[in-house]
Structure 1
Amino acid sequence: MISDHDSNGTAVVLPVRVRDLLQRDLPACNWSGSATHLRQVERELARAAAGEVDYLAVCTPRDVPVAIGGIDYQVSEGAGAVWQLAVLPALQSCGLGTLLIRAAEQRIGSRGLHRAELAVEEDNPRARALYERLGYVAYGREPDAWDEEAPDGSIRRHETMCVLMRREL
Protein backbone atom coordinates (compact mmCIF):
# COMPACT_ATOMS: atom_id res chain seq x y z
CA MET A 1 0.00 0.00 0.00
CA ILE A 2 1.14 3.51 -0.79
CA SER A 3 0.01 5.86 1.93
CA ASP A 4 0.42 9.61 1.91
CA HIS A 5 -1.50 12.67 3.05
CA ASP A 6 -2.73 15.56 0.94
CA SER A 7 -2.48 19.22 2.01
CA ASN A 8 -5.69 18.88 4.06
CA GLY A 9 -4.31 15.92 6.00
CA THR A 10 -6.55 13.43 4.21
CA ALA A 11 -4.98 10.02 3.86
CA VAL A 12 -4.52 8.74 0.33
CA VAL A 13 -4.08 4.95 0.14
CA LEU A 14 -3.31 2.99 -3.01
CA PRO A 15 -2.79 -0.79 -3.10
CA VAL A 16 0.38 -1.99 -4.82
CA ARG A 17 1.88 -5.35 -5.61
CA VAL A 18 5.38 -6.62 -6.28
CA ARG A 19 6.09 -8.72 -9.35
CA ASP A 20 8.89 -9.38 -11.81
CA LEU A 21 9.79 -6.44 -14.03
CA LEU A 22 8.98 -7.26 -17.66
CA GLN A 23 10.34 -6.02 -20.96
CA ARG A 24 6.98 -4.39 -21.70
CA ASP A 25 7.35 -2.27 -18.52
CA LEU A 26 10.46 -0.42 -19.68
CA PRO A 27 8.72 2.45 -21.51
CA ALA A 28 6.83 3.25 -18.29
CA CYS A 29 10.10 3.33 -16.30
CA ASN A 30 11.74 6.35 -17.96
CA TRP A 31 11.55 8.13 -14.58
CA SER A 32 14.14 5.67 -13.20
CA GLY A 33 17.08 6.95 -15.21
CA SER A 34 18.48 7.90 -18.58
CA ALA A 35 18.06 6.00 -21.83
CA THR A 36 21.49 4.49 -21.13
CA HIS A 37 20.22 3.24 -17.77
CA LEU A 38 17.09 1.71 -19.32
CA ARG A 39 19.21 -0.12 -21.89
CA GLN A 40 21.21 -1.55 -18.97
CA VAL A 41 17.97 -2.63 -17.26
CA GLU A 42 16.94 -4.30 -20.52
CA ARG A 43 20.20 -6.28 -20.54
CA GLU A 44 19.58 -7.27 -16.92
CA LEU A 45 16.16 -8.65 -17.89
CA ALA A 46 17.96 -11.04 -20.24
CA ARG A 47 20.08 -12.15 -17.28
CA ALA A 48 16.86 -12.60 -15.26
CA ALA A 49 15.59 -15.01 -17.89
CA ALA A 50 18.80 -17.01 -17.33
CA GLY A 51 18.24 -17.05 -13.53
CA GLU A 52 21.32 -14.96 -12.73
CA VAL A 53 19.31 -12.04 -11.36
CA ASP A 54 15.80 -11.09 -10.31
CA TYR A 55 14.42 -7.71 -11.30
CA LEU A 56 11.35 -6.57 -9.37
CA ALA A 57 8.68 -3.95 -9.92
CA VAL A 58 6.26 -2.44 -7.41
CA CYS A 59 3.11 -1.76 -9.44
CA THR A 60 -0.11 0.20 -9.05
CA PRO A 61 -3.54 -1.40 -9.60
CA ARG A 62 -3.20 -0.41 -13.29
CA ASP A 63 0.00 -2.50 -13.35
CA VAL A 64 2.31 0.51 -13.81
CA PRO A 65 5.74 0.24 -12.14
CA VAL A 66 6.39 2.93 -9.52
CA ALA A 67 9.51 1.35 -7.99
CA ILE A 68 12.04 -1.06 -9.48
CA GLY A 69 15.20 -2.84 -8.41
CA GLY A 70 17.36 -5.83 -9.03
CA ILE A 71 19.05 -8.64 -7.15
CA ASP A 72 22.26 -10.07 -8.59
CA TYR A 73 23.19 -13.56 -7.43
CA GLN A 74 26.55 -13.60 -9.23
CA VAL A 75 28.30 -10.79 -7.28
CA SER A 76 28.93 -12.22 -3.82
CA GLU A 77 29.18 -15.83 -2.68
CA GLY A 78 26.23 -16.76 -0.47
CA ALA A 79 24.41 -13.44 -0.89
CA GLY A 80 22.06 -11.54 -3.13
CA ALA A 81 23.33 -8.10 -4.12
CA VAL A 82 20.48 -5.60 -4.25
CA TRP A 83 21.09 -2.87 -6.82
CA GLN A 84 19.58 -0.32 -9.19
CA LEU A 85 16.81 0.59 -6.74
CA ALA A 86 14.61 3.45 -7.90
CA VAL A 87 11.28 4.90 -6.77
CA LEU A 88 9.16 7.26 -8.83
CA PRO A 89 10.23 10.66 -7.40
CA ALA A 90 6.67 11.83 -6.68
CA LEU A 91 6.11 8.72 -4.53
CA GLN A 92 9.34 8.72 -2.54
CA SER A 93 8.94 8.55 1.26
CA CYS A 94 5.68 6.59 0.95
CA GLY A 95 7.14 3.19 1.90
CA LEU A 96 7.76 1.85 -1.60
CA GLY A 97 11.52 1.56 -1.08
CA THR A 98 10.97 -0.44 2.08
CA LEU A 99 8.46 -2.70 0.31
CA LEU A 100 10.86 -3.24 -2.59
CA ILE A 101 13.81 -4.08 -0.33
CA ARG A 102 11.74 -6.49 1.78
CA ALA A 103 10.50 -8.22 -1.40
CA ALA A 104 14.11 -8.49 -2.60
CA GLU A 105 15.11 -10.03 0.73
CA GLN A 106 12.32 -12.59 0.38
CA ARG A 107 13.59 -13.52 -3.09
CA ILE A 108 17.11 -13.88 -1.75
CA GLY A 109 15.86 -16.10 1.07
CA SER A 110 13.81 -18.20 -1.33
CA ARG A 111 17.10 -19.16 -3.04
CA GLY A 112 18.43 -20.46 0.26
CA LEU A 113 20.74 -17.49 0.79
CA HIS A 114 21.00 -15.80 4.17
CA ARG A 115 22.53 -12.42 3.39
CA ALA A 116 21.55 -9.34 1.38
CA GLU A 117 24.20 -6.84 0.33
CA LEU A 118 24.05 -3.44 -1.33
CA ALA A 119 26.17 -0.39 -2.06
CA VAL A 120 24.96 3.15 -1.47
CA GLU A 121 26.67 6.29 -2.69
CA GLU A 122 28.27 8.26 0.13
CA ASP A 123 26.50 11.40 -1.05
CA ASN A 124 23.07 9.76 -0.62
CA PRO A 125 22.47 9.94 3.15
CA ARG A 126 18.71 9.56 2.75
CA ALA A 127 19.05 6.14 1.13
CA ARG A 128 21.68 5.08 3.64
CA ALA A 129 19.37 6.06 6.51
CA LEU A 130 16.63 3.86 4.99
CA TYR A 131 18.97 0.89 4.72
CA GLU A 132 20.15 1.37 8.31
CA ARG A 133 16.52 1.51 9.52
CA LEU A 134 15.99 -1.81 7.73
CA GLY A 135 18.91 -3.40 9.57
CA TYR A 136 21.77 -3.00 7.07
CA VAL A 137 25.24 -2.44 8.52
CA ALA A 138 28.18 -0.81 6.78
CA TYR A 139 31.21 -3.05 6.32
CA GLY A 140 33.39 -1.22 3.80
CA ARG A 141 33.77 1.28 0.99
CA GLU A 142 34.59 0.98 -2.70
CA PRO A 143 34.58 3.21 -5.75
CA ASP A 144 32.01 2.72 -8.48
CA ALA A 145 31.60 4.24 -11.93
CA TRP A 146 29.24 4.06 -14.87
CA ASP A 147 28.40 5.92 -18.05
CA GLU A 148 25.26 8.01 -18.14
CA GLU A 149 23.59 9.95 -20.88
CA ALA A 150 23.40 13.73 -20.41
CA PRO A 151 20.33 15.71 -21.58
CA ASP A 152 22.30 16.82 -24.66
CA GLY A 153 22.85 13.17 -25.65
CA SER A 154 26.52 13.06 -24.74
CA ILE A 155 27.83 10.26 -22.56
CA ARG A 156 29.47 11.23 -19.28
CA ARG A 157 31.34 9.05 -16.83
CA HIS A 158 29.87 9.15 -13.31
CA GLU A 159 32.37 8.25 -10.59
CA THR A 160 31.45 7.91 -6.94
CA MET A 161 32.43 6.29 -3.65
CA CYS A 162 29.99 3.78 -2.16
CA VAL A 163 29.45 2.43 1.32
CA LEU A 164 29.03 -1.35 1.27
CA MET A 165 26.21 -2.60 3.51
CA ARG A 166 24.78 -5.99 4.37
CA ARG A 167 22.06 -7.61 6.41
CA GLU A 168 21.76 -11.17 7.64
CA LEU A 169 18.37 -12.59 6.71
Structure 2
Amino acid sequence: MPVSVRDLLPRDLPACTWAGSATHLRHVERELARAAVGEVDYLAVTTPVDLPVAIGGIDYQVAEGAGTLWQLAVLPALRSCGLGTLLIRAAEQRIRDRGLRGAELAVEENNPRARALYERLGYVAYGRKPEAWDEEGPDGAIRRYRTVCVLMRRELRDPVRP
Protein backbone atom coordinates (compact mmCIF):
# COMPACT_ATOMS: atom_id res chain seq x y z
CA MET A 1 0.00 0.00 0.00
CA PRO A 2 1.53 3.34 -0.97
CA VAL A 3 1.74 5.88 1.84
CA SER A 4 2.99 9.44 2.20
CA VAL A 5 4.10 11.68 5.04
CA ARG A 6 2.64 15.11 5.72
CA ASP A 7 1.84 17.40 8.62
CA LEU A 8 -0.87 16.16 10.96
CA LEU A 9 -3.89 18.46 10.82
CA PRO A 10 -6.69 19.09 13.34
CA ARG A 11 -9.16 17.53 10.87
CA ASP A 12 -7.19 14.25 11.16
CA LEU A 13 -7.81 13.76 14.88
CA PRO A 14 -11.19 11.99 14.62
CA ALA A 15 -9.45 9.31 12.50
CA CYS A 16 -6.68 8.86 15.11
CA THR A 17 -8.66 7.25 17.95
CA TRP A 18 -6.36 4.21 17.60
CA ALA A 19 -3.45 6.40 18.82
CA GLY A 20 -4.80 6.99 22.31
CA SER A 21 -7.63 8.07 24.53
CA ALA A 22 -9.75 11.18 24.11
CA THR A 23 -7.51 12.84 26.70
CA HIS A 24 -4.45 11.99 24.63
CA LEU A 25 -6.01 13.34 21.45
CA ARG A 26 -6.89 16.61 23.22
CA HIS A 27 -3.19 16.85 24.12
CA VAL A 28 -2.23 16.22 20.48
CA GLU A 29 -4.65 18.97 19.47
CA ARG A 30 -2.84 21.40 21.82
CA GLU A 31 0.48 20.34 20.28
CA LEU A 32 -0.87 21.21 16.84
CA ALA A 33 -1.25 24.80 18.08
CA ARG A 34 2.46 24.72 18.94
CA ALA A 35 3.17 23.40 15.44
CA ALA A 36 1.44 26.46 14.01
CA VAL A 37 4.11 28.67 15.66
CA GLY A 38 7.06 26.42 14.75
CA GLU A 39 7.88 25.00 18.18
CA VAL A 40 7.10 21.46 17.06
CA ASP A 41 6.33 19.45 13.96
CA TYR A 42 3.62 16.82 14.11
CA LEU A 43 3.64 14.31 11.26
CA ALA A 44 1.19 11.81 9.83
CA VAL A 45 1.84 8.83 7.59
CA THR A 46 -1.27 8.62 5.43
CA THR A 47 -2.89 6.14 3.05
CA PRO A 48 -3.90 6.97 -0.54
CA VAL A 49 -7.31 8.06 0.80
CA ASP A 50 -5.49 10.44 3.20
CA LEU A 51 -6.21 8.56 6.45
CA PRO A 52 -3.47 8.69 9.12
CA VAL A 53 -1.99 5.29 9.98
CA ALA A 54 1.03 6.55 11.95
CA ILE A 55 1.62 9.81 13.80
CA GLY A 56 4.36 11.41 15.83
CA GLY A 57 5.83 14.69 16.93
CA ILE A 58 9.17 16.45 17.04
CA ASP A 59 9.70 19.00 19.80
CA TYR A 60 12.43 21.57 19.16
CA GLN A 61 12.19 23.13 22.63
CA VAL A 62 13.41 20.17 24.74
CA ALA A 63 17.07 19.60 23.86
CA GLU A 64 19.51 22.17 22.53
CA GLY A 65 20.76 21.27 19.05
CA ALA A 66 18.36 18.35 18.66
CA GLY A 67 14.79 17.50 17.88
CA THR A 68 13.01 15.29 20.40
CA LEU A 69 10.70 12.67 18.91
CA TRP A 70 7.64 11.90 20.98
CA GLN A 71 4.13 10.46 20.86
CA LEU A 72 5.07 8.04 18.07
CA ALA A 73 2.21 5.67 17.27
CA VAL A 74 1.31 3.26 14.46
CA LEU A 75 -2.14 1.82 13.81
CA PRO A 76 -1.92 -1.56 15.62
CA ALA A 77 -3.04 -3.63 12.61
CA LEU A 78 -0.20 -2.12 10.52
CA ARG A 79 2.69 -2.49 12.95
CA SER A 80 5.82 -4.22 11.59
CA CYS A 81 5.06 -2.96 8.08
CA GLY A 82 7.74 -0.25 8.01
CA LEU A 83 5.49 2.68 8.88
CA GLY A 84 7.34 3.48 12.12
CA THR A 85 10.64 3.52 10.25
CA LEU A 86 9.17 5.80 7.57
CA LEU A 87 7.77 8.15 10.22
CA ILE A 88 11.07 8.34 12.12
CA ARG A 89 13.12 8.91 8.96
CA ALA A 90 10.74 11.72 7.91
CA ALA A 91 11.04 13.25 11.39
CA GLU A 92 14.83 13.06 11.20
CA GLN A 93 14.73 14.87 7.85
CA ARG A 94 12.62 17.64 9.40
CA ILE A 95 15.24 17.95 12.14
CA ARG A 96 18.03 18.17 9.52
CA ASP A 97 16.03 20.76 7.58
CA ARG A 98 16.22 22.99 10.67
CA GLY A 99 19.99 22.68 10.69
CA LEU A 100 20.06 20.45 13.76
CA ARG A 101 22.27 17.38 13.95
CA GLY A 102 20.70 15.27 16.66
CA ALA A 103 17.50 13.35 17.34
CA GLU A 104 16.46 12.17 20.78
CA LEU A 105 13.61 10.14 22.19
CA ALA A 106 12.50 8.30 25.31
CA VAL A 107 11.10 4.78 25.25
CA GLU A 108 9.47 2.98 28.15
CA GLU A 109 11.64 0.23 29.61
CA ASN A 110 8.69 -2.15 29.29
CA ASN A 111 8.47 -1.60 25.50
CA PRO A 112 11.29 -3.76 24.08
CA ARG A 113 9.73 -3.90 20.62
CA ALA A 114 9.89 -0.12 20.18
CA ARG A 115 13.38 0.01 21.67
CA ALA A 116 14.56 -2.64 19.19
CA LEU A 117 13.24 -0.51 16.32
CA TYR A 118 15.06 2.58 17.59
CA GLU A 119 18.30 0.61 18.01
CA ARG A 120 17.97 -0.76 14.45
CA LEU A 121 17.66 2.85 13.27
CA GLY A 122 20.88 3.85 15.04
CA TYR A 123 19.62 5.24 18.36
CA VAL A 124 21.86 4.62 21.37
CA ALA A 125 20.77 4.60 25.01
CA TYR A 126 22.43 7.21 27.21
CA GLY A 127 20.33 7.28 30.38
CA ARG A 128 17.07 6.59 32.17
CA LYS A 129 14.48 8.78 33.82
CA PRO A 130 11.13 8.40 35.50
CA GLU A 131 8.14 9.80 33.60
CA ALA A 132 4.49 10.33 34.50
CA TRP A 133 1.41 11.56 32.72
CA ASP A 134 -2.34 11.55 33.11
CA GLU A 135 -4.13 8.75 31.29
CA GLU A 136 -7.81 8.08 30.78
CA GLY A 137 -8.96 4.65 31.91
CA PRO A 138 -11.70 2.55 30.27
CA ASP A 139 -14.16 3.93 32.82
CA GLY A 140 -13.31 7.51 31.82
CA ALA A 141 -11.46 8.22 35.07
CA ILE A 142 -8.14 10.03 34.82
CA ARG A 143 -5.24 8.25 36.51
CA ARG A 144 -1.58 9.13 36.86
CA TYR A 145 0.55 6.70 34.83
CA ARG A 146 4.13 6.28 36.04
CA THR A 147 6.95 4.56 34.21
CA VAL A 148 10.70 4.61 33.62
CA CYS A 149 12.03 5.53 30.19
CA VAL A 150 15.32 4.83 28.47
CA LEU A 151 16.72 7.99 26.87
CA MET A 152 18.14 7.46 23.38
CA ARG A 153 19.84 9.65 20.81
CA ARG A 154 21.19 9.52 17.29
CA GLU A 155 23.53 11.88 15.48
CA LEU A 156 22.15 13.03 12.14
CA ARG A 157 25.13 13.68 9.93
CA ASP A 158 24.17 12.83 6.39
CA PRO A 159 20.89 12.22 4.66
CA VAL A 160 19.65 8.65 5.01
CA ARG A 161 20.31 6.58 1.94
CA PRO A 162 17.33 4.58 0.62
Using the size of structure 2 for normalisation, the TM-score is 0.96
Q: Number of aligned pairs?
A: 156
Q: Which residue of 1 aligns with 2:60?
A: 73
CA offsets 1:73-124 (integer angstroms, 9 cap, x no match): 0000000000000000000000000000000000000000000000000000
Q: Which amino acid aligns with 2:45?
A: V
- Residue of 30, 39, 55 corresponding to 1:43: 30
Is the aligned partner of 1:63 residue 2:42?
no
CA offsets 1:51-75 (integer angstroms, 9 cap, x no match): 0000000000000000000000000
Identical aligned pairs, as a percentage? Answer: 83
CA distance in 1, matches of 2:114, 2:47: 23
Is the aligned partner of 1:122 residue 2:100?
no
CA distance in 2, matches of 1:34, 1:117: 25
Is the aligned partner of 1:93 residue 2:80?
yes
Is the aligned partner of 1:111 residue 2:103?
no
CA distance in 1, matches of 2:73, 2:146: 19
Q: Which residue of 1 aligns with 2:140?
A: 153
If you compute each CA radius of gyration, which structure gives the higher value, 1 or 2? 1
* Gap regions ≥5 residues in structure 1: 1-13
CA distance in 1, matches of 2:29, 2:106: 21
> How far did 1:151 drift?
1.0
Structure 1 SS opposite 2:56: strand
CA distance in 1, matches of 2:134, 2:23: 8
CA distance in 1, matches of 2:146, 2:62: 20
Q: Which amino acid aligns with 1:119?
A: A
CA distance in 2, matches of 1:96, 1:145: 27
Using the size of structure 1 for normalisation, the TM-score is 0.92
Q: Which residue of 2 aligns with 1:8?
A: none
CA distance in 2, matches of 1:138, 1:152: 36
Q: CA RMSD in A?
A: 0.3
Is the aligned partner of 1:26 residue 2:16?
no
* Gap regions ≥5 residues in structure 2: 157-162
Is the aligned partner of 1:102 residue 2:71?
no
